[in-house]
């Protein structure tokens, strides 16, 4: 169950280790905690964008980050993914510090306004490049990309050079990339903003077929919120 804890909870000191932490319920059974955010703060210059955010997300849970533009939704996702370092606080993915190699292997990320594709390569070549980084074997990378192209019905999109793709086409490729290697945690930043209704349906159907995958989504869309079991409202 997602828990947004109070801001007066102290942040545990960093030990510098990447050893996973263990989580147990009161009866001694292991908790399926995928994500822990402990008193996260992120400042840009003098501006405090995220302040004292504490959340836990269990396996298979879907959590929506809500708030107005500038409330820090994308910043939170980037801190979880490890592309941005917290100013203070701690984040753990399955007990492993966010941003470490072990944590990155567990996370799939799709950001809004995607800019990380190689524009002169096809969507398929891009997906294969990232799949090779996730898999140890070439055949596993090829098999994963082919399966996702079929599942998400993006075979034609994948054949196009990405500099010729629309925003919606790039968004579908970014979602496919987020699912490579079956991550434990998927982070989605306004993933349906540029999609037509059929593409939106395929996105949520794909997540429904992965009931054990935890999802954290930043969104303004009421339709997306309907697919989430919990929400975290970020103050402006």
**What is the per-residue pLDDT across 84-106, written as a single tens digit (0 to 9) for each?**
999 999 999 999 999 999 999 99
- Phi then psi for residue 142, to 5 deg, are -60, -45
In eight-state DSSP terms, residue 211 is T
User: Please, which residues bridge with residue 62 across strands?
Assistant: 215
Residue 127 has pLDDT above 60, yes or no: yes
The answer to whether the beta carbons of residues 59 and 214 sit under 8 Å apart is yes
Rg (CA), the chain: 18
Range 24-41 burial, b when 16+ CB lie within 10 A, else e: eeeeeeeeebbbbbbbbb
CA separation for the pair 181, 167 (Å, rounded): 24
Domains and CATH numbers, the chain: 30-233 (3.40.50.300)
Predicted TM-score (pTM) of the model is 0.87
CA separation for the pair 148, 22 (Å, rounded): 33
pLDDT interval class at 220 (50, 70, 90): confident
Q: Which pLDDT does position 6 carry in this prediction?
A: 33
Give the residue-averaged pLDDT of 72-93: 96
pLDDT interval class at 32 (50, 70, 90): confident
The answer to whether the beta carbons of residues 216 and 65 sit under 8 Å apart is yes
């Amino acid at each position: 169950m997602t828990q947004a804890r109070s801001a007066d909870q102290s942040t545990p000191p960093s030990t510098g280790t990447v050893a996973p932490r263990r989580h147990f319920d009161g009866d001694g059974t292991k908790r399926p905690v995928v994500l822990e955010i402990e008193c996260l703060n992120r400042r840009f210059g003098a501006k405090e964008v995220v302040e004292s955010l504490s959340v836990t997300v269990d396996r298979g849970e879907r959590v929506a980050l809500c708030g107005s533009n500038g409330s820090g939704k994308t910043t939170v996702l980037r801190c979880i993914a490890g592309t941005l370092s917290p100013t203070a606080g701690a984040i753990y993915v399955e007990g492993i510090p966010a941003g470490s190699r072990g944590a990155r292997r567990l996370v799939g990320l799709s950001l809004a306004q995607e800019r990380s594709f190689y524009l002169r390569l096809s969507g398929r070549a891009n997906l294969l490049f990232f799949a090779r980084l996730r898999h140890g074997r070439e055949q596993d990378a090829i098999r994963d990309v082919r399966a996702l192209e079929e599942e998400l019905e993006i075979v034609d999109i994948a054949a196009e050079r990405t500099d010729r793709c629309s925003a919606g086409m790039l968004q579908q490729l970014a979602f496919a990339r987020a699912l490579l290697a079956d991550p434990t945690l998927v982070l989605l930043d306004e993933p349906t903003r540029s999609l037509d209704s059929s593409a939106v349906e395929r996105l949520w159907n794909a997540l429904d077929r992965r009931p054990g995958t935890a999802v954290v989504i930043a969104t303004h869309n009421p339709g997306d919120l309907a697919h989430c079991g919990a929400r975290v409202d970020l103050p402006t």
